[in-house]
Amino acid sequence: MKFLQTFSVARRTIFLSLGFMMVLSVVRLITNANDITSSGTISSTLRVATPILLAGLAGLWAERVGIVNIGIEGMMIIGTWFGGYGAWKWGSWAGIALAIFAGSLVGLLHALATVRFNVNHVVSGIAINILAAGATEYLSIIFFKGQKGGGESQSPTGKGGYGEFDMPFLTGGRVGSWRSPDILGWIERKHDLPLLPDLAGFARGLLSDVYVPTLLAIALVPLTGYILWRTRFGLRLRSSGESPQAGESLGVPINRLRYQAMAVSGGLAGFAGAYLSCVFTSTYRQGQTGGQGYIGLATTIFGNWNPFGVLRGAILFGFPTALKFRDEKNVPALLLVVAIVLVVVAIISFTRQKQILAMGLLFGSALSATTYFLVDEVPQEFVAATPYIVTILVLVGAQQQLRPPAHAGAAYRAGENH
């Protein structure tokens, strides 16, 4: 049943995506901002959202086992450095592998502090973030300074690259030496039609020019759902985050599971960091994470500790940023999107007897729509803040439905229930 519940979230994710595409289609027809649903924007959204998704999954694995991982940001920093170093020395895939390994070690360090020595989870996580920032700066001085293309704050350019996936016949992928037709691209260019070109652009963005590491990261979403809700290992792991005393009384090795889960959590965070330094760019740079580890932790909460919910949150954060990267002229259309979405959420809030919240949402919708019609250029600060504003509103509206693991962040020592 738990597994089915997980995949009911997957179905809701699909329905919400279709609903959001309808909103974007309406806005595109009103504003002629054709790029908001283009395949290029969708591809950019995937690239921007992937490290946030991986960081969110890292937080999910940690909290499902009962450990709050504030140190995701530090593990990502470690991942960026070791990813850049590995790609420079041995190639791009070696960079990702080295980053995952290094991230896992830092995850185990966090587990050692919280499980073995019973250190407060938040304190341990903050210490890891500070340690990671200082350690990578020191390592850069030792290994990168004086190297061609390197310096105290960046690595030399990495070697190699990653393969890209193009679906034959749908997105013009090659079959041998022959390039197949681009059917979705042809439909996408029919901008005078409602919804159909938007769906084609969405599908084409998912099926063309997609890096292999991006596909691997997306595949981790259903894989995480399967492991945590379908396997015996996942059941035991979740029991250690819900009621470790009850699990231990049934013979569940709580501490061992927490070490294992934190190794996975750290590895995912390391992968997220490597994505920034090896895939998104080909060079490590100091400060490259930009707080995305904290954003990933927010998506864990936003997604209600469910992998498909985390995916929704990552896309929510990635879309406005991708739209800004593509063409800033299309950014004002985002105001109209926000206005429509807030109206929909307000209607849902009214049906759930949350009148005060609904009135606030309607006020925000009116403010957003008024701003769209009155201003010619949207401040960049608004674009950067949009995902955070929407997340806060959603969390306020759904706070009664959020259910974190019961024992997440709480101190526990093996055998204390005897």
Instruction: Say whether both 142 and 258 belong to one domain.
Output: yes
Instruction: Say whether both 378 and 230 belong to one domain.
Output: no
CA-closest candidate to residue 139, choices 96, 78, 98 = 78
**Any domain includes 162:** no
Instruction: Say whether both 112 and 219 belong to one domain.
Output: yes
Instruction: Say whether both 44 and 140 belong to one domain.
Output: yes
Which SS3 state, helix, strand or coil, does residue 407 take? coil
Instruction: Say whether both 102 and 219 belong to one domain.
Output: yes
How far apart CA 216 and CA 193 sit, in angstroms, is: 34
The domain boundary residue, chosen from 310, 340, 370: 310
| 107 alpha-carbon distance from chain centroid | 18
88-115 pLDDT, tens digit per residue, is 999 999 999 999 999 999 999 999 999 9
Instruction: Say whether both 133 and 252 belong to one domain.
Output: yes
187 Cβ contact list (under 8 Å, min separation 6): 196, 197, 200
**Any domain includes 5:** yes
Instruction: Say whether both 231 and 378 belong to one domain.
Output: no
14 Cβ contact list (under 8 Å, min separation 6): none
Answer yes or no: are the C-beta atoms of 16 and 312 closer than 8 Å.
yes
- The pLDDT value recorded for residue 322 is 82
Question: Residue 235: exposed, middle, or buried by beta-carbon count in 10 A (0-12, 13-18, 19+)?
Answer: middle
Instruction: Say whether both 132 and 251 belong to one domain.
Output: yes
What are the DSSP calls for 162-212, one per residue? --EE--BTTS-BEETTEEPP-HHHHHHT-TTSSSHHHHHHHHHHHHSSEEH
Return the residue matching tokens 């439909």. 187
**Any domain includes 82:** yes
User: What are the pLDDT tens digits along the chain (418 aa)?
Assistant: 444 444 566 677 777 778 888 888 888 888 888 888 888 888 889 999 999 999 999 999 999 999 999 999 999 999 999 999 999 999 999 999 999 999 999 999 999 999 999 999 999 999 999 999 999 999 999 999 989 888 889 999 998 778 777 888 788 877 777 888 888 888 888 888 778 888 888 888 888 888 999 999 999 999 999 999 999 999 999 999 999 988 888 888 999 999 999 999 999 999 999 999 999 889 999 999 989 999 999 899 988 999 999 998 898 888 888 877 776 667 778 888 888 888 888 888 788 777 887 888 888 889 888 888 887 777 767 766 766 776 676 666 555 577 889 888 888 877 665 5
Q: Can you give the pTM of this predicted structure?
A: 0.91
Beta strands 210-211 and 164-165, pairing class:
antiparallel
What are the DSSP calls for 301-337, one per residue? HHTTT-HHHHHHHHHHHHHHHHHHHH-GGGTTHHHHH
The structural domain count of the chain equals 2
Q: How far is CA 103 from CA 63, 77, 264, 361, in A?
A: 17, 9, 9, 40
Residue type, 340: I
Instruction: Say whether both 225 and 337 belong to one domain.
Output: no
Other beta carbons within 10 Å of 227: 16
324 Cβ contact list (under 8 Å, min separation 6): 331, 380, 383
Which SS3 state, helix, strand or coil, does residue 370 take? helix
Question: Residue 205: exposed, middle, or buried by beta-carbon count in 10 A (0-12, 13-18, 19+)?
Answer: buried
- The pLDDT value recorded for residue 87 is 95
- The pLDDT value recorded for residue 394 is 62
- The pLDDT value recorded for residue 391 is 64
- Here the tokens at position 155 are 């690595």
**Any domain includes 207:** no
CA-closest candidate to residue 214, choices 8, 52, 6 = 52
The range of the structural domain enclosing residue 382 comes to 331-403
Instruction: Say whether both 122 and 74 belong to one domain.
Output: yes
Beta strands 178-179 and 164-165, pairing class:
unpaired
Instruction: Say whether both 140 and 88 belong to one domain.
Output: yes
- The pLDDT value recorded for residue 1 is 40
Instruction: Say whether both 108 and 46 belong to one domain.
Output: yes
Answer yes or no: are the C-beta atoms of 196 and 190 closer than 8 Å.
yes
**Any domain includes 394:** yes
The domain boundary residue, chosen from 247, 279, 310: 310
**Any domain includes 85:** yes
**Any domain includes 16:** no
